A and B are shown apart, each in its own frame.
Chain A
Amino acid sequence: VAASLGSLGTIEAHVRLVRKERRLPLPGEVLVAVGDEVKPDTPIARIALRPGVPWVIPAARRLGIEPRELSRHMVKKVGDFVKTQEVVALVEDGRSGRRELVSPTDGVIESVSDASGRVIIREEYGKEDPPVTFDVAGEIRVRPEELMQHMIRGIGQEVKKTQIIAKKGDMQAFFTKTALAPISGVISAIDTKTGKVTISRPFKQVVVNAYLAGQVTSIIPDRGCVVETPGVRLTGIFGIGRETFGRIRVLTERPEQSLEPEMVTPDCEGCIIVGGALATEESLRRALEVGVKGVITGTVNYYALIRSLGVKLGVGITGQEDIDLTLLLTEGFGRLAMRREVYETLKAMEGRIASMSGATQIRAGALRPEVVVPLQGYTGEIQEDAPVDEDIRPGGMVRIVSEPFFGEVGRIVDIVREPREIGTEAKVQVVSVHLDGARRVTVPRANVEVY
């Protein structure tokens, strides 16, 4: 790796120590140790979420006693393992004889409450338990294609063992046919051709990957670790889609050039492709078809985005969309060329494996989408993060980010202190900008950004 780093040249100024904290949402098992070298897809921590379904049994009510008497009548105590039909609590009195509370499932007694009079039994099973498929249409005697209208629980919904999941006939209890769930789990499929329903175990494993290639430098106990690497990190203004990684391929020749569908060839599969200005709707569709992992481009059209990727932008909080493509916009919406510096940096990184995330949150504490190119084995100088200077000053280059000069770049001639009237009759602070071709325009200070 070190040898190929020789060609970095112009981008050396952008190399930073990239540090990523990778953590589980809940305590779990950390799979790496300090000093380990990791790849983007190396699992670093995992948890088994929802180890079993809790059965909440209104025990006091069933036994006909006051909630506060429940503990006295328990045969089993918290932490005990019980099997299906095993007696959990017992009431014996002279008048009405003996009443028993039996466990509806195999599991562990998790709590006994004298306040609410309830017993919670956590059903136990392992991830090795296979899903169960059974003939529901047959059980309730309907044709497979009619099954949907008799289902009480749908795909993705939780069911418990012995719960009614489908029912035929409504009013006449005598003629009603029902199908009961044979195991607890989540309905994962309803087949209207065969009439069969599949219930899977809701054993969900949450795994956190390293996200970028690098070295584990510290461990966060029970949660995850910190991965560090020298690398180049670029951020965009808006993104969509989850974390991904792939080889960088620059498809346009200039930052002003649009990304067209014919540029997205089948060999882009698994890559992160870089366009210039606008990525057209067809090029995004094509990228999805081909199996591109990520698209980095200047802008898209708002419509093209919702039509091609089928996403809603809503309140500008993204990153969890269920799409196979991650998108990073460096400039926003409409038609704008990618900043030359960003384009050149990506061009210099062509062929390297990059990690990217589309997660964006524009509100306070902003989160912007990013692309990170790890440079493991880099021996040159690592730059400190310089404070970002967003202040505009006379002579500085700015870009206008509002109509009617949207996207034009120029040099600040004057920053006018006193508010001036603009086209809308509003009085605001303005700046004079010298655009290409010797034009001079006055625009609100709020509508220019340092370029």
Chain B
Amino acid sequence: MRVSEVRSILATDVGSTTTKAILIEKRGDEYRLVTRGEVPTTVEAPWENVLIGVRKAIRRVEELTGRQLLDEDGELLRPMEGLRGVDLYVSTSSAGGGLQMMVAGLVKNISATSAHRAALGAGAVVLDVIAVDDGRSQSEQIARIRELRPDILLVSGGVEGGSVAYVAAVSETIRQANPQPRFGATYRLPLIYAGNRDAQDIVREICGDGMDVHVVENLRPRHDTENLGPAREAIHEVFMNHVMAQAPGYGDLMEMVDTTIMPTPGAVGKIISLTAEKLGLNIVGVDIGGATTDVFSSFGGTFTRTVSANLGMSYSICNVLEEAGFDKILRWVPFGMDEAQISDFIANKMVRPTTIPETLFHLVLEQALAREALRLSFEHHRSLARKVEKEKVGALAPPSLTTAKAYGSEIVRMGDLGLIVGSGGALSHAPRRGQAALILMDAFQPEGITCLAVDSIFMMPHLGVISSICPLVAAQVFDKDCLIRLGACVAPVGQARPGTAMAGVRVVMPDRKVVEKTIVKGEIERVPLPAGEEATVHVSPYRGMDVGAGKGRAVDVKVQGGVSGIILDGRGRPLDLPEDPPERADALTRWFQAMDAYPMDEVRELRTQFPVKASSGKGGKKRGGFFGFLRHD
């Protein structure tokens, strides 16, 4: 079937806890989302077959649409005839913990780091990075490799034409460790070699007996060049054909789909890259889940993905508390909270991951935790999203400069960021969209003019895999049904005293009406601009302030509207929260009101009921956990 003839597409995402199915159909000239069904995933006992969950999810779609998609034997009806069946079926998967990899390279900051990036970009959870200079003895490395059970090993090392002896040494370490695969021991563990071409035969010779060796182009052919594409493609290919084929039910699912099954984060990454390309913007995307938080960025065509494996809103929520500390979390809450009580609430969320907050008090607390989980994940992302640079340093340069060169320069520059897309329960299902906008602003602290959006029902993975065969369909549905525009945030960077003016803003509305506003330090104000409309914003920053064009330079841009409109954020960058707790609670309340984020009568009532206590004076002991690890200053 030609792509242009496709009338309906069914897509499923087999997650580690739920399997989600969506149905997309051509209505008139464009493709739109029809419905979505969600059921528990069936990869574990007693079912041990993902196909059962996939069929249940499709049945759920059948119930919701009243259309028949499966026949009596559970086979998909293809192609579409009248109102029966679909034309295409695709799927993504992260069931069974997703793709887990171990990475090895020669030098920790060069080939091992590049290999790490390649694995993350392919959607993997990286269990460990082994390098010749990682500080561990060889026997410690062997013990570690033995203890891990990766799905795939990625080995890199050596520039083209360089020494082969060290690559051979790393291969020998791996062979001695004899690592075993995760799903039973019925297949040979795949090893992808993406290093010095001259060492390919040596790696095959050393590891070929016990492992399934695949050779691809060198991912770091020169010190100043990175070539991650071939390794990333090889990881996808090997994962689907050699690893996933072993998981219960995947063999049948692979026969059912019309294109290769993609790892869920890989598919989300694909749609983010495509969107960045289409809109011509630098994008940061985030998916905050129960166990992990994935951050994606596409800056100047460079795509980076990172996983914060221990930051999430249910399974990993205690870790968010431990890493951020009480002070950092409670700074987002305008109510007085008893630490012992809220810590029990948080710990119960860990043991009962599916529960949802029932009162405004607990919703505000949960969203405070989400801000910190996002902030920490984004910090992690920025530390890893680095660009390899050309050699600039002379032989006599001090060692510190050489190191900086090896690490590369930071890719994510907040001033150049055009769009932030949020996804995952805490953002997609926030009761008011204004809450999602405020969470994104607080956690990411966009600088200058940045658009904000959320994924309506977490369908980015489905659209990612659809984009590999029907890019047009994916783009239309992403724009119309997936992306919910929250608005544009205008945030000047620079120091100012509270209450002073930071910038003047002139908005030319679609009806040519002009709205003039001043951004005041410490305040948020909004100019309503509904989704689907476009306005021209002219920002003239005052002395010392920067909105993206340099200090004091004016900016003229067209921005898209959204639920929250144009948000004039005068809270400063880095975001300035008042030190004094009652003063901070007042500021938070004003911001909640400005964003229309919460029912304000109830917020005021809660503030009376649970007043914030003033701190015990300057220099006093900071509140926090009882151990050092709960306190981050």
Contacts and interface: CB of A to CB of B under 8 A. Distances in A.
Are A and B associated in one complex?
A: yes
A115 B358 contact: no
Contacts of B353: 362
B356 A113 contact: no
Nearest to A430: B358
Given A302-B346, A303-B626, A333-B347, A316 B315 contact: yes
B363 A315 contact: no
Nearest to B147: A25
Contacts of A306: 625-627
A157 to B, nearest CB: 9
A141 interface: no
A282 interface: no
Q: Most A CB atoms within 10 A — which of B17, B176, B339? A: B176
A317 B2 CA distance: 49
B393 interface: no
A291 interface: no
B16 A364 contact: yes
B350 A113 contact: no
Given A50-B139, A115-B168, A334-B344, A444 B356 contact: yes
Interface stretch (B252-260, B316-324, B373-381): B316-324
B626 A403 contact: no
Contact of B360 (A158, A424, A443): A424
Contacts of A401: 348, 352, 355
B348 A313 contact: no
B165 A302 contact: no
Contacts of B344: 301-302, 333-334
Given A113-B168, A301-B340, A312-B629, A423 B358 contact: yes
A404 B16 CA distance: 30
Contact of B359 (A56, A332, A387, A423): A423
B506 interface: no
Contacts of A85: none
A255 to B, nearest CB: 19
Given A303-B339, A363-B315, A364-B41, A422 B358 contact: yes
Contacts of B360: 423-424
B138 A56 contact: yes
A116 B431 contact: no
A26 interface: yes
Interface in A238-260: 238
A237 B206 CA distance: 47
Interface in A296-317: 301-303, 306-307, 312-316
B605 to A, nearest CB: 12
Contacts of A26: 146
B163 to A, nearest CB: 10
A362 B315 contact: yes
Contacts of A60: 165
A119 to B, nearest CB: 11
Contacts of B363: 424, 426
Interface residues on chain A, size class: 35 or more
B169 interface: yes
A402 B166 CA distance: 56
A314 B166 contact: no
A427 B172 CA distance: 58
A315 B164 contact: no
Contacts of B17: 364
Interface in B14-44: 16-17, 41, 43-44
A406 B351 CA distance: 14
A365 interface: yes
Given A54-B139, A301-B344, A312-B322, A402 B357 contact: yes
A172 B46 CA distance: 69
A425 B431 contact: yes
A23 interface: no
B44 A365 contact: yes
Interface in A313-329: 313-316
B320 to A, nearest CB: 10
Contacts of A158: 137, 139-140
Contacts of B341: 334
Nearest to A403: B362
Nearest to B357: A424
Instruction: Determine which residue in B44, B206, B347, B355 has the highest number of CB atoms from chain A within 10 A of its CB, and name it.
Output: B347
A426 B166 contact: no
B97 interface: yes
Given A301-B344, A333-B347, A401-B348, A315 B316 contact: yes
A446 interface: yes
A417 B43 CA distance: 28
Contacts of A426: 356, 363, 429, 431
A54 B165 CA distance: 19
A53 interface: yes
B205 interface: yes
A41 to B, nearest CB: 25
B322 A424 contact: no
Nearest to B169: A116
A312 B361 CA distance: 26
A227 B165 CA distance: 49
A17 interface: no
A403 B345 contact: yes
Contact of B358 (A56, A333, A403): A403
B341 to A, nearest CB: 8
B599 interface: yes
A56 B173 CA distance: 10
A111 interface: yes
Interface in B361-377: 361-363
A237 B168 contact: no
A406 B342 CA distance: 13
Contacts of A365: 44
B205 A115 contact: yes
Given A54-B139, A364-B97, A332 B318 contact: no
Nearest to B341: A334
Interface string B165-206: 110110110001000000000000000000000000010011
A28 interface: no
Contacts of A315: 291, 310, 315-316, 318-319
B165 A116 contact: yes
Contacts of A446: 354-356
A302 B326 CA distance: 13
Contact of A447 (B291, B356, B599): B356
Nearest to A366: B44
Interface in B499-546: none
A402 B142 CA distance: 46
Contact of A444 (B97, B139, B318, B358): B358
Interface in B113-143: 137-140, 142-143
B368 to A, nearest CB: 14
Interface string A348-382: 00000000000000111100000000000000000
B615 interface: no
A154 interface: no
B432 interface: yes
Nearest to B205: A115
Interface string A28-61: 0000000000000000000000100110100010
Contacts of A314: 310, 316, 318-319, 322
A314 B355 CA distance: 19
A372 B489 CA distance: 58
A447 B355 contact: yes
B343 interface: yes
Given A238-B350, A313-B318, 5 more contacts: A50-B143, A116-B172, A334-B345, A364-B41, A364-B44
27 contacts: A50-B139, A50-B143, A67-B168, A115-B171, A115-B172, A117-B168, A118-B172, A120-B172, A120-B176, A237-B351, A301-B340, A303-B626, A313-B347, A314-B310, A315-B310, A315-B316, A316-B318, A332-B347, A333-B343, A333-B347, A334-B344, A362-B350, A364-B43, A364-B95, A402-B358, A423-B358, A447-B358
Closest 3 pairs between A and B when the two form their complex, measured CB to CB: A116-B168, A115-B168, A334-B344
